[in-house]
A and B are shown apart, each in its own frame.
Chain A
Amino acid sequence: MRSTPTPTLNIDRRTFDPKWLIIGLIVVFLVIFQVLPLFYLVIKAFFPNGHLSLSAFKRVYTYPMNWSALKYTVITATATMFLGILFAFPLAWLIGRTNLIGSKFFRTLFVTTYMVPPFVGAMAWMRLLNPSVGTLNILIMKLFNLSKAPFDIYTMGGLVWVLTGFYFPYAFITISRAMEKMDPSLEEASRISGATPLQTLAKVTMPMMLPSIVAAGLLVFVTAGSCYGIPSIIGVPGQIHTVTTRIIDFVYIGSQEGLTDATTLAVFLMLIANIVLYVSTFPLAKKQFITVSGKSTRPNMVDLGRWRIPISLIVSIFALIVVIIPFFTVASTSFTVNLGKPLTEAGNLTLRYWERIFTRKAIISSARNSLLSASAAATFGMIITCMMAYLLVRTKAKGRKIPDFLITVGSGTPSVVIALALIMTMSGKFVINIYNTLTIMIIAYMIKYMLMGMRTVVSALTQISPSLEEAAQISGAGWFRSLRDVTLRLIAPSVVAGWFLIFMPCFYELTMSTLLYSNNTKTLGYELYTYQTYHSQQTASALATAILVMVILVNWLLHKLTKGKFSV
């Protein structure tokens, strides 16, 4: 037997595979800036002075104000979860499955709300339901001749209401997507078996959707529980502190003890978030009945019959109250000189706040910071996610799931926790000192929001046949070349969509910016928040309205770019 020399084969075997280099670099980045800081946070909570001590826990959790913060957080998050599902499921069903009037419009409306910064809702409801001057309160008092304002926004109920209004879209989107994936003939089979539309809803649709409903509920629970913007505007004035507001208070104290206390509370938040993340990725995902329909893409129209008009009317009123009136309130606030008087009164209309947001140096510099850090986070985030998505979908490279897992964990971690962990580890204690720079902001944003881009690119890639790339490789193009010439071209719209999905929430980010800002690195979200709380609600409203318009424009752009596939 003659042995044929195969030099090329030998060389190939030893050539370093660039895939591993990329996976390695991404993992190193995530380990340094995400995994280690979070670990350090946990360790610090248990070993505050270098040795195991639960004294910090004792101190923090026996302090009544912290206890009440914990209690309030759990109660408001739970209530928001139930109320959110109570709104989201019927809406998803009505919009996805029935002949509701204007269902396309409602869908777009609720989906757009998802991209709106949550504190905008807080600003609006504060104006509407302030116990003494709230416009809606006054209106209702006049209408029904009441002597006392019917609602007070600075209560637990108020907090839950505002949280729900801005987090139910999370549940709506999750449930709607699952419902779209469900083969409509499963419901038709029930109808033809003799079940009415309502029986079908109860016995087929609901049970099949249950895993998604639970997942959606958990998502709302965690996001509401780790929200900072809304409780800081609505809760704090009414002495309702939550874990997030307490953590930020402790950090602002500035002392070592304050930081330890913040850490201890943050561990609680992280624990809950991680459990929820675990439950909704593993056991729940497995239970999800994937019944993607084959040919049958017809919408299974349930005829609402004589209920069609009344139900459409109720949905319209809901949309009006939860989405349109708040947006309108914020917009009109930005034009009002004296907030105690109606906008229509002579001399009460002004453009001065709009002029201010485009001319005041501090605002412009903050906007520039936000633009810069959001663009950087989106760009670096997309570079990482594109490569990761490619490795995940297209290759069998070992360890390709590690960065995916880390990115999922990062985005599931509450913003306060991420920021706190970065502060504690990145301020020079361990070699790296990026505290007080935009870099730390960019890294925090990436950890929190990269997943959005990842999901978009992964789903686009899954739809492109691998043979297209293989054809390029057969034609002599290398891995990078075929990636660039074929794959990137095809997924370009989704990449742009993913870029904006990272960019938008970073652009108006509040929670992490509040902890990470320095005098030179203030951001738009922070600026908006301080104007709202300390200086001028009108200026804050003008900023919020500008962001709102931008969100709508970007959403519209995404819709055009991806032909309706990605608009969130």
Chain B
Amino acid sequence: MAGIIIENVSKSFGETVVLSDFSSEFKDREFVTLLGPSGCGKTTMLRMIAGFEKPTAGIIRIGNRTVNAPDTFIPPEKRDIGMVFQSYAVWPHMTVFENVAYPLRIKRQDKQTVRQKVEQVLDTVHLSQYAQRIPSQLSGGQQQRVALARALVAEPQLLLLDEPLSNLDAKLRDSMRFEIKEIQKKLGITVVFVTHDQIEAMTMSDRVIVINRGVIQQMGTPSEIYRHPVNQFVADFVGKINFFDATIEEGLLTITGTGQQLDYHGPHTGNVVIGIRPENVRFASRQSDLRGKLASQFYLGDVNDCRIDIGGILMRVIAEPSTYAKYQEGDEVFLRVEDFSVFDDVGFDDHRRILT
């Protein structure tokens, strides 16, 4: 059992508040991702779970043990956690085998067991033939797998990963994403994964926690976060989106400055902001939701990335590749909007300032 309960955790360094009132519960065997722009406090949260930082306030429980509370503190070495650091932190003075064997040797397991377990885990991460190498003879991807093997070898119930893929090249990143997910399923462990990359978050997680400026913005499954972002920050940070000012009156939404209208049957009224994801807009052959003029288009092979002038403002639309040949810049186009979100107009464009 290695669920995590975080209750009202806050953390400040001196005057700077890094995390405020963070509460969440991670279930056993869940893959939870902390997602947010750099500097938002993800690493700090992870380090508090690991025991390298102490919360300024709040309680953290791992399994059925309270590890952080005002009067309790369990040091990292007693928490039974595996962790992969962003810089890998593979020890340069030990061989791959010694690196991976370290947690077992600290636990004073007998030689036979150590050898067997290390070989097994090295096999899992496809490093068996490198056991006797020293880390400086390995590539970045291989070092990262050494770090992963070392984190897994003692069979922890909880694995913490701090941007483990950010230093890898694109190809390797794709395959490691898949492998980490496989290993998690196979071993049935709880994983807390930190990243600022929304694709990693979307593809790997059971649940995503979006953080901005130390405050939880939204928690949910990847599709909930993507399809129903609760605010402009989340909508903007996860995926691509067009924002337009609009007003709602009697079931009709008018995009400000364009005169174009969409049907709307929801709770919002008055001045709002609508968000339309570029891939939720389709080209239509006759009059549909919106109308505009094709301002520019870029053929990317798998999609056609267009900008459409809908009456003084541009909207980005990601259309099927076949549309590229059909239309030309300047053509009149009809658009069908399959989905959009409505947010209260908070009066400032906060979401834009936070973007990394």
- CB of A552 within 8 A of chain B? no
Taken together as a complex, chains A and B put the C-alpha atoms of A153 and B17 apart, in Å, by: 56
Flag if A194 contacts B106 (CB, 8 Å): yes
CB A357 to nearest CB in B, in angstroms, measures 46
Interface stretch, picked from B73-81, B176-184, B326-334, is B73-81
Flag if A189 contacts B92 (CB, 8 Å): no
Flag if A192 contacts B82 (CB, 8 Å): yes
Taken together as a complex, chains A and B put the C-alpha atoms of A204 and B103 apart, in Å, by: 12
Flag if B93 contacts A208 (CB, 8 Å): yes
Flag if B81 contacts A195 (CB, 8 Å): no
Taken together as a complex, chains A and B put the C-alpha atoms of A192 and B46 apart, in Å, by: 12
In the complex, chain A residues 128-163 whose Cβ is within 8 Å of any chain B Cβ: none
Interface stretch, picked from B63-71, B83-91, B118-126, B227-235, is B83-91
- CB of B102 within 8 A of chain A? yes
Taken together as a complex, chains A and B put the C-alpha atoms of A300 and B89 apart, in Å, by: 13
Flag if B77 contacts A196 (CB, 8 Å): yes
Flag if B106 contacts A195 (CB, 8 Å): yes
Taken together as a complex, chains A and B put the C-alpha atoms of A189 and B107 apart, in Å, by: 15
- CB of A518 within 8 A of chain B? no
Interface stretch, picked from A27-35, A288-296, A316-324, A509-517, is A288-296
Closest to A191 in B: B76
CB A298 to nearest CB in B, in angstroms, measures 8
Flag if B154 contacts A294 (CB, 8 Å): no
Q: Please, what's the 1-or-0 string for B103-114, where 1 marks a CB less than 8 Å from any CB in chain A? A: 100110000000
Flag if A186 contacts B76 (CB, 8 Å): no
- CB of A188 within 8 A of chain B? yes
Chain A residues whose C-beta falls within 8 Å of the C-beta of B78 in the assembled complex: 194
- CB of B52 within 8 A of chain A? yes
Flag if B85 contacts A185 (CB, 8 Å): yes
- CB of A190 within 8 A of chain B? yes
- CB of B50 within 8 A of chain A? yes
- CB of B150 within 8 A of chain A? yes
Taken together as a complex, chains A and B put the C-alpha atoms of A179 and B151 apart, in Å, by: 24
Taken together as a complex, chains A and B put the C-alpha atoms of A194 and B150 apart, in Å, by: 11
- CB of A199 within 8 A of chain B? yes
Flag if A192 contacts B87 (CB, 8 Å): no
Taken together as a complex, chains A and B put the C-alpha atoms of A380 and B86 apart, in Å, by: 46
Taken together as a complex, chains A and B put the C-alpha atoms of A193 and B151 apart, in Å, by: 7
Instruction: Given A186-B91, A293-B87, verify A192-B50 contact (CB < 8 Å).
Output: yes
Flag if B93 contacts A289 (CB, 8 Å): yes
In the complex, chain B residues 184-240 whose Cβ is within 8 Å of any chain A Cβ: none
Flag if A194 contacts B154 (CB, 8 Å): yes
Flag if A188 contacts B91 (CB, 8 Å): no
Flag if A185 contacts B93 (CB, 8 Å): no
Taken together as a complex, chains A and B put the C-alpha atoms of A207 and B102 apart, in Å, by: 14
- CB of A183 within 8 A of chain B? yes
Partner of A193, one of B52, B93, B106: B106
Flag if A189 contacts B86 (CB, 8 Å): no
Chain B residues whose C-beta falls within 8 Å of the C-beta of A194 in the assembled complex: 77-78, 80, 103, 106-107, 154
Taken together as a complex, chains A and B put the C-alpha atoms of A188 and B86 apart, in Å, by: 12
Taken together as a complex, chains A and B put the C-alpha atoms of A289 and B83 apart, in Å, by: 22
CB A374 to nearest CB in B, in angstroms, measures 42
Instruction: Given A188-B52, A193-B106, A193-B154, verify A208-B86 contact (CB < 8 Å).
Output: no
Chain A residues whose C-beta falls within 8 Å of the C-beta of B51 in the assembled complex: 191-192
Chain A residues whose C-beta falls within 8 Å of the C-beta of B93 in the assembled complex: 207-208, 289
CB B33 to nearest CB in A, in angstroms, measures 19
Listed A/B pairs (9) with beta-carbon separation below 8 Å: A188-B52, A189-B91, A189-B150, A194-B77, A194-B154, A208-B91, A293-B87, A295-B87, A303-B75
Using CB atoms and an 8 Å cutoff, list the residues of chain B in contact with chain A: 50-52, 75-83, 85-87, 89-93, 102-103, 106-107, 147, 150-151, 154
Given A193-B102, A289-B93, A303-B75, output 5 extra A-B contacts at Cβ < 8 Å: A183-B87, A186-B91, A191-B76, A195-B106, A196-B77
